[in-house]
Amino acid sequence: MAKDVLTYLLDNQDTYVSGEYIAHKLGITRQAVSKRITQLKEQGFDIDSRTNKGYRVVSYPDVILPELIERETSFGPVVHFDTIDSTNIHARKCALDGSPERTLIVAEEQKAGRGRLGREWVSPKGGLWFSFIIRPRCNPASAPLINFVAANAVAKTVHDLYGIDVSMKWPNDIYYEDRKMCGIALLVSSDTDLIHYLVVGIGINVNNDPPQPTHTVSLKDIVSRPIDRNSLLISVLDHFKDEYAHFERGDYETLLSYSRSISNTIGRFVRVSFLGRDVVGKVRDINDQGALVLEHDGTTHVVYAGDVDFLRPL
């Protein structure tokens, strides 16, 4: 019930809401409203109480608020966990159970987070760990382009909110300078010509201490202040919706043009490893299918998947 009271407060965050009004809307007593307000304050919400005016949320704790996310975005239902094994795993279960497109799973902490190729992704409290379901109506061969949809969304968000310019390491890592800030992992279920569902998992180091300070970085350290994770999540989801619209229209050039502009991989000499095979060369481009185009000793290689290692500076 406290969440129901919270919904009314968040819907009227710029003004006061009377306890009588909330009680009437929820069908509970004024005393019950007061009790819920006390519970919210104990959870870290700063709620101003004024006689003859009511209640107003001044600030809220560093915790994801499903009510706020559902109100401010087109994503939902939002399922929020304090601790979970993996938001991707839970989102996949939801997809298999028939949950609707844009169902969003978000956790304060993951105990078994995984990035690309099943690698461990350390996910402590303070970061932003979330996954959501989409059901693209397209050929499964186009599914990897969703990596670029998500990467563009994160890059545009941190630029708009914090004035930060980041880069994308192909195919789906976001870097600030030479340290990783964000990872993206997709889970796809498809037949030859049909995608059943696709889970987009995004993990961003935000207010957490980075697990490997020499190789990873958190947003709070870049901007030298704590980050409002709800505002960050809302912006990423809004930008994803916009980028995904390009994908749905088949406007891959607009999508990939921005991805190329923020790439830290194009122009680099790299080794790409996949299933025990290595390809070495200088990256010339990301083609219209999202693949890397490498050139080495006069031979062109097109690589659709793999792990990139930078072999020498630009």
Do residues 14 and 107 share a domain? Answer: no
- Average pLDDT of 175-189? 95
| pLDDT average, residue stretch 86-99 | 96
Please state the φ and ψ torsions of residue 73, each to the nearest 5 degrees: -130, 175
CATH of the domain at 308: 2.30.30.100
Q: Tell me, what's the pLDDT at 293?
A: 96
| pLDDT confidence tier of residue 1, bands split at 50, 70 and 90 | very low
| Total structural domains within the chain | 3
pLDDT at residue 95 above 90?
A: yes
The answer to whether residues 85 and 181 belong to one domain is yes
Contact 156, 237 (CB under 8 A): no
**Domain range for 306:** 269-312
**Which of 3-12, 45-54, 234-243, 301-310 is modeled with the greatest confidence?**
234-243
Give CA–CA dist 62/196, Å, rounded.
Answer: 35
- d(Cα 9, Cα 15) in Å, to the nearest integer? 9
> Do 21 and 125 fall within a single domain?
no
Q: Are strands 173-176 and 277-286 parallel, antiparallel or unpaired?
A: unpaired
Domain CATH for 227 = 3.30.930.10
Q: What is the pLDDT of residues 273-306, one digit of tens each?
A: 988 899 999 999 999 999 999 999 899 999 999 9
Domain shared by 31 and 84, yes or no: no
Is the confidence at residue 120, as pLDDT, over 70?
A: no
Asked if residue 226 and residue 129 are part of one domain, the reply reads yes
167 and 308 part of one domain: no
Q: How confident is the model over 230-234, as a mean pLDDT?
A: 96
Residue 166 shares a structural domain with residue 50: no
Are residues 111 and 19 part of one domain? no
Check whether residue 115 and residue 40 sit in a common domain: no
For 102-159, give the DSSP string.
Answer: T-EEEEEEESS-B-GGG-B--B-TTSEEEEEEE---S-GGGGGGHHHHHHHHHHHHHH
**C-alpha distance from residue 192 to each of 69, 89, 95, 101, 189 (Å):** 35, 23, 19, 21, 10
Residue 118's pLDDT band (cuts 50, 70, 90)? low
Residue 313 has pLDDT above 70, yes or no: no
Reported as a pLDDT band with limits 50, 70 and 90, residue 145 is: very high
- d(CA 112, CA 86) in angstroms, rounded, equals 5
Q: Taking all residues of the chain, what is their mean pLDDT, rounded to a whole number?
A: 91
Task: For residues 283 and 151, state if they share a domain.
Answer: no
Digit-coded pLDDT (tens) for 11-62: 887 899 999 999 988 889 999 999 999 988 988 889 999 998 999 989 888 8
- The residue-averaged pLDDT of 128-153 equals 96
Percent of the chain's residues with pLDDT above 90: 75
Are residues 14 and 123 located together in one domain of the fold?
A: no
